[in-house]
Every structure is written in C-alpha cells, then in structure tokens.
Structure 1
Amino acid sequence: MAMDPITTWLDLMRHGEPEGGPKFRGSQDDPLSDTGWQQMRAAVAAVAADDHWDVVVASPMLRCVRFAEEVAQQRGLPLQVEPRLREIGFGDWEGLTSEQILARDGDRLSRFWDNPVTNTPPGAEALEAFQQRVLAGWQHWRTELAGQRALVVCHGGVIRMILADVLGIPLARSFAGLAVPYACRSQVRIDHTDTDCYQSLLRHG
C-alpha cells in the first residue's frame, strides 16, 4: 500500500553582507557587517507568521552560523551545522573584488561567469566537486527533515547548486543564470512518496 506523500519546506537564505563588502570570499571566514546583520534580521522579520520553522541548518562559516545561532536561540529551535554547505573555495581569487581580478587576470573572470565548469579559478575548488558535496548535504537534510519546515542559512554558491538541481539548470549556467543577492530567501517544497521525491521552487528573492 502506497504511503501518503510527506511534504517538507526548506527555506534557503543567503547570508547578509560580510565585513569587507562584496568580493570573492569563498572560504575566507569573515563575519557579517552591521549592514549584513540588519539585512538578515529584516529578511526573517518579513517571513509570514504561518511560515514557522522547526529547525535551523547552517553552514559553519561565521557569516552564516552566527546569525543561525541567533534565530535558533530566539525561537527555541534546534540548530544543525552542516560542513557540506560551506561556500565554494575560490583559490587565488579569495578576498579579491571583481575589479582586482580583472586587473590581474583579464578576461579569465568573464570566462568563469560564462562557464565555471571549464574555467576554474587558479587553485580553486572544481565546480563539479562543489556541486557533489553540496547536493550530498542537501539530499541528507531533505530526507532527515522530512515533514518539517527548516531555515537553511548558507551561501550564494550553495543556493545556486541546489536551485540548479531543483530547476534542472545545467551546471555551466548555474552561476550566471541565477542571481542570489544578500539575505535572499528561496523556498523549496519537497513531496516525498514511497518511490521518489519531487522538488519545486515556491519563491525566490
């Protein structure tokens, strides 16, 4: 006898602006700036009252986990830290702005945005490897949290990998094809059956 579908809601929220402003931060572990804290608190305050959460999941990086800790403490929710949801490592581009990369590496930056699969930054994590670890973490938590509502505080690159999987976007278009601003919230609904699970994007922005 087939089981009734189980529905899970996962709210992906990108961190706010970190100290030092926009740059290719990757594994550089900067905390949120004052502006970043304001962005995140405003984003959470805008969530409808009926969109409650049962648990918070976070990347271990400071710009994510510190805010996740605040939300979990204020709402009395369990917090799960997931290392597989940390941002992609940008190698030699870590800590540089787009302007600095353009000055140093010329059109290599535009080639990365055009196709990050074949244009990995010097010393950076390969996009396929990044995708594999992010989706391993995503698949674990969508199963572990089946039937619940969760806030997942993570990174722009992580959200791009997950939404590319949800929407069937080719990996080569996953960065340029999806805009994920600071404190952006993307809600994914997952319907689990006894044979499969079906993912759909309900909101993004």
Structure 2
Amino acid sequence: MRDEPTLIDLIRHGEPSGGPMFRGSKDDPLSDTGWQQMRSAVSADDRWDVIVTSPLRRCRGFAEWLGAERGIKVDVIDQLREISFGDWEGRTAADIEAAYGDHLQRFWADPVANTPAGGEVITAFSERVLAGWAQLQASYAGQRVLLVCHGGVIRMILASVLGIPLSQSFSGFAVPFACRSRIRVDETAYGEFSALLSHTPLTTEPHLL
C-alpha cells in the first residue's frame, strides 16, 4: 500500500508542421503555432518530478525543452508513440474519403472493426499503450508526472480508466492540440484505483491525429 497517490498530467502535443493530416507514426516536429500552444498549456505553478514522453519529435522536442528549462528528468517510453495509420498517413481527411469512400467515417464510429489499410489494429495499439502506461506507473509511483503524448494514446488511457469500450474510444471525447488531462492513481488495501480528475482542452477545435 502506498501513502502518496501518483498524479499524472497527460498533455497532447501541439500543432505539428506540415498542416492538417493523419500523421500516426509520421515524425514531424511542432510548428511555431504548436510551440506556442504547448508553452501556453503549462504554467509556472506546475510541479512535476519527472517528464515522460513519446519518442516522436512533436512530443519529445517540447518535453526535452521543458525538462532542460525546469531541471526535470525526461524519460522516453517507446510504447507511448501514436498509432500507425498505414496507408492513410500523410493524407488529409478529404484525401482519404476520396480514395476510400466511407472507411474514414466507419473508423471513427468503430475503430475496432475498421482498421485503415496497412494500419495498426486498435486492440494491439491499446495493449501497447497500456503496457507503457503500466511501466510509467511502476517507475514513478507516488510521484507527480507529466506525460507528453498523442491524441490516440490519451484516448486509450482514458478508455481504460473510464471503462469505455475500444469501439467507442475515438468518438467518446475530443482531444485537441495541447489538451491536458489529470489522472490520480491510489494504491490502497482494497486495490489500485485510477480516477480522471480533469480534462481541459486549450481549444475546442478538433484536430487530426
């Protein structure tokens, strides 16, 4: 049993360079706007013991900058990279609809049954992310953690915490750029309990993964 809870702030990366598209594993850095969004999403009052990040540049660049700025250790967990969209990567929603008809609409409605061509199966993606999430909690139990990651990764974590079926994990809530969520994990005599404390978008506009 642990006396102190683990507090984990999840923040989605800001706008990447290259404009709106399905990126997935495509490794673009943040745009100038993305950097502004990320700096606006954190404050001088925030206190973290460690920063954990996806290995992709749109997350890692900001995480390493913030860690150097505030003297905080940065840990990279590979399992927390974004889902691969296969043949959809680098394409806009309009491009995908033109090439694949209603497949994109069906993916958003039920990603379990509608994997993009050449893409990562959602059940495998969830298992990968939750393995990385478990690694984070085991490594930093009782600490205050900032996790810089992706919209799909945050959806998998929140679906697990809130008991949302994977089939509804991409349509159940919005995760725009620089959106912050806070999860508290308590270890008690009755087991481990995770709770979503807040989910705060910097903007209400939807954005692609």
Using the size of structure 1 for normalisation, the TM-score is 0.95
**Which shifted more, 142-151 or 115-124?**
142-151
**Which shifted more, 194-203 or 163-172?**
194-203
Matched, 1:125 2:123: no
Tell me the secondary structure at the aligned position of residue 164 of structure 2: coil
Contact 1:15 1:183 (C-alpha < 8 Å) held by counterparts: yes
The one-letter code matched in structure 2 to 1:87 is E
Matched, 1:187 2:178: no
Tell me the secondary structure at the aligned position of residue 109 of structure 1: helix
- Structure-2 separation of matches of 1:14 and 1:192: 26
Tell me the secondary structure at the aligned position of residue 146 of structure 1: coil
- Structure-2 separation of matches of 1:201 and 1:105: 36
Pairs within 5 Å for 1:39-188: 39-45=37-43, 49=45, 51-188=46-183
Unpaired runs of at least 5, structure 2: 201-209
- Structure-2 separation of matches of 1:4 and 1:88: 33
Cα RMSD (Å):
1.1
Using the size of structure 2 for normalisation, the TM-score is 0.93
Q: Which residue matches 1:19?
A: 17
- Structure-2 separation of matches of 1:14 and 1:141: 17
Contact 2:25 2:84 (C-alpha < 8 Å) held by counterparts: yes
1:23 CA displacement = 1.1
Matched, 1:34 2:32: yes
Contact 2:2 2:142 (C-alpha < 8 Å) held by counterparts: no
- Structure-2 separation of matches of 1:194 and 1:124: 41
- Structure-2 separation of matches of 1:98 and 1:151: 31
The one-letter code matched in structure 1 to 2:167 is A
Q: Say which of 183, 191, 198 aligns to 1:196.
A: 191
Contact 1:6 1:193 (C-alpha < 8 Å) held by counterparts: no
Unpaired runs of at least 5, structure 1: none
The one-letter code matched in structure 2 to 1:134 is V
- Structure-2 separation of matches of 1:4 and 1:123: 43
Tell me the secondary structure at the aligned position of residue 186 of structure 2: strand
- Structure-1 separation of matches of 2:8 and 2:39: 18
1:195 CA displacement = 5.5
- The ranges of structure 1 where at least 4 consecutive aligned residues each deviate by more than 4 angstroms after the TM superposition are none
- Equivalent pairs counted in the alignment come to 200
1:178 CA displacement = 1.7
Contact 2:50 2:146 (C-alpha < 8 Å) held by counterparts: yes
